[in-house]
Structure 1
Amino acid sequence: MDTRYIRYARRRARGAVRPAAIAIVAVVAVLAAASWFLIIKPHQDLVESDAGGHPSTPVTAARAAPPPPVNVAAMSLNQLLAEARKAVNEQRLLAPAGNNAFEFYLKVLEKQPGNQVAADALRETFPVGASLAEQAINQRDFSDAQRQIDLLAKADPANYTLTILRSKLDAQRKLQDREQQLASDKEKQSQLAAQKAVADKAEADRAAAEAQQKALAEQQQRAAQTRVAQQQAEPSARQSQAAGATAASEGTASAATHGPVLVRNVNPRYPVGAVRSNQEGWVELTFTVTAEGNVDDVKVLDAEPRHVFDRAAVEAVTRWKYQPATQDGTPVPSQDKRRIVFKLN
């Protein structure tokens, strides 16, 4: 075989393959560029921004989200994809609600379930979306975190990351509930302690007031008893002097006959109720002095006011001691009558 023909055939075959290879390379390059600008670059910018990096184009940190498009349901596939790309570029991947890339891509898949651009975009941006949902959980924005997890679940229901996010959301909610319960319990304990302190102070003040009132009443009662004793001692002394004078004047024969003489006077107890109500009065009594000098058969003749000082007067007189009356030198029973006066300062 002629070798020149073989070499010519090979050169011809190489020349036919070269344009096809160039066309394939050109198509791959165009697809790669489109993927870079539409998916990969926005995704990298979002990751860098989330990690604290600085994108090449400065972005204002406090930039407000644009209002959501009107009548999203009526938008075409191209319009939805354009809004989704715009949301990715503006780092609105999962938020705000109703105006984020995930919702636009999901709308695309609702209209065209097999749309490869939306499916690829959701798959590529899923890790970043999961990171954003985790940030919402850490910030304890539980309602928005739940919404973002639901969006992620619509994009990839079987992704195991969703289980981790849901577990973390549940744990953070329980932790917040425990913290709130502890704070509530602490506040209740503080309130109970304050109430107990107030009640203890009130009880201490009441006890002090009662003790002061009781001491004052006892002091007034002692003063009243002292005055009654002084008043009772004066008539007894006068009676004793009169009896002595009579005995001296009658001589030796009459000295053997005399009336009862009080030798021990017991002060009456001033009733506590009368002290507290600032009452004064008197009780007139009649009684028998026995041959032994004791007091017996005490009766109340009159009193003012009635039934206030009666018992105290009777108890005091019953304890009095007399030198009994004598008749021709022999002790005999006798009658006596006294008025017991009760008077405060």
Structure 2
Amino acid sequence: MDTRYIRHARTHARGAIQPVAIAVLVVIAVLAAAAWFLIIKPHQDLMQADNGGHPSTPVAAGHEAAAPPANVEAMSLNQLLSEARRAMNEQRLLAPSGNNAFEFYLKVLQKQPGNQVATDALRETFPFAATAAEQAINQRDFNDAQRQIDLLAKADPANYTLTILRSKLDAGRKLADREQQLAADKEKQAQLAAQKAAADKVEADRQAELKAQQAAAEQQRLAQQRQAQQQQAAESARQQQQATTAAATPAAETGGTHAAVLVKNTAPRYPTAAMRANQEGWVELSFTITPGGDVSDVKVLDAQPRHVFDRAAIDAVSRWKYQPATQDGAPVASIKRQRIEFKL
């Protein structure tokens, strides 16, 4: 075959294809431009109002949060979307109440159910808002956390994250209640301990004062008792001295017989144990008066109570001195019985 014919056929075929390809490219470009200007561009303009960007993407706020709108009910959809976008930019996802992105988007859906921009924004922003609600729980702002969870429930009532947040909120409230109760119990215990310490101190002071009064009264009683015993002994000695003098004079004059006469007596020492027990009693003794006037062979004949005052009575009588009995003018030994009284 002639090669010139083949080259000509190929050239003719390429020339026929090129116009078709160009036409297809032109149609695609026209459709793309139409789609941009008629669909994509208006949608992006709507979402990028007030600083641009996707409505569901939180960005760092560069200024303080704006004041809440005066009349949200009267705002149009575009105004609500614009406020929502501004709240997103300023990180006001769920707070403050009445001026946050979720409430604006929910208001858009009230006015226009199924609004795609609001629906997409709520869905895509839900995880960020859930994190904000969790932070409110961690900060123990339980009332506001409950409000934020309620807003999330309006946006996506079936989302499992709500169950987790509600569990955390309930656990946080219970923990706070327990801590508050523990603090109250601790404060009450501290108050009771302080009251008991004060009462114990008052009682201890009262007991100390009572013991001091009792000790002073006991000392005064012992002093009075010693004084009374001394006075009694002195009086007894005086009387016995008088009796001895009276009895000795006739005997000396007549040189006859007479009984032994007490010249010197010693008051018995009151036993300490009996004094503390407020015991009284007596001891009846029998003893011998020697020709020299001394006392010997002292014996207890009877006592009441027994073995309480015996030793004190014996010790006292053993120190007594007598003018011995005489017979025909000569001193002789004699036996005498004597009851010693012990009284307080």
> Fold match, TM over 0.5?
yes
1:199-250 CA distance string (max 9 Å, x none): 3322332232222212211111111011101111122111111111111122
Structure 1 residues 320 and 232, CA gap change in structure 2 (3 angstroms): farther
Structure 1 residues 258 and 11, CA gap change in structure 2 (3 angstroms): closer
1:147-184 CA distance string (max 9 Å, x none): 00110110011122222222222222222223323333
Report how far residue 69 of structure 1 moved. Answer: 2.3
Map 1:1-345 → 2, pairs under 5 A: 3=13, 8-26=19-37, 27-32=39-44, 34-36=46-48, 40-41=53-54, 43-44=56-57, 46-48=58-60, 58-60=62-64, 66-70=67-71, 72=73, 74-251=74-251, 252-253=255-256, 255-256=258-259
Instruction: Determine which structure has more spread, i.e. the larger CA radius of gyration.
Output: 2
Report how far residue 118 of structure 1 moved. Answer: 1.6
Conservation of the 8 A alpha-carbon contact between 2:93 and 2:129: yes
| Structure 2 CA distance for aligned equivalents of residues 234 and 19 of structure 1 | 150
Structure 1 residues 95 and 223, CA gap change in structure 2 (3 angstroms): same
Partner residue in 2 for 1:285: none
The amino acid across from 1:19 in the alignment is: V
1:45-93 CA distance string (max 9 Å, x none): x4545xxxxxxxx324xx5x51442362x44434433433343344332
Structure 1 residues 290 and 31, CA gap change in structure 2 (3 angstroms): closer
Two-structure CA RMSD over aligned residues (Å): 4.6
| Structure 1 CA distance for aligned equivalents of residues 237 and 18 of structure 2 | 171
| Structure 1 CA distance for aligned equivalents of residues 132 and 139 of structure 2 | 11
The amino acid across from 2:200 in the alignment is: D
Report how far residue 99 of structure 1 moved. Answer: 2.3
The amino acid across from 1:70 in the alignment is: N
The amino acid across from 2:80 in the alignment is: L
Moved more, 118-127 or 3-12: 3-12
Structure 1 residues 229 and 332, CA gap change in structure 2 (3 angstroms): closer
Report how far residue 112 of structure 1 moved. Answer: 2.3
1:310-338 CA distance string (max 9 Å, x none): xxxxxx9xx98999xx9x9999999xxx9
Conservation of the 8 A alpha-carbon contact between 1:228 and 1:267: no
Conservation of the 8 A alpha-carbon contact between 1:291 and 1:331: no
Give the TM-score of the pair, scaled to structure 2.
0.66
| Structure 2 CA distance for aligned equivalents of residues 291 and 106 of structure 1 | 120
Identity %: 53
Which runs of 5 or more residues in structure 1 are unaligned?
Answer: 50-57, 273-288, 297-315
| Structure 1 CA distance for aligned equivalents of residues 180 and 115 of structure 2 | 47
Moved more, 156-165 or 240-249: 156-165
Structure 1 residues 159 and 81, CA gap change in structure 2 (3 angstroms): same
Give the TM-score of the pair, scaled to structure 1.
0.66
The amino acid across from 2:84 in the alignment is: A
Which runs of 5 or more residues in structure 2 are unaligned?
Answer: 1-8, 277-282, 288-299, 303-308, 328-332
Conservation of the 8 A alpha-carbon contact between 2:106 and 2:155: yes
Conservation of the 8 A alpha-carbon contact between 1:137 and 1:172: yes
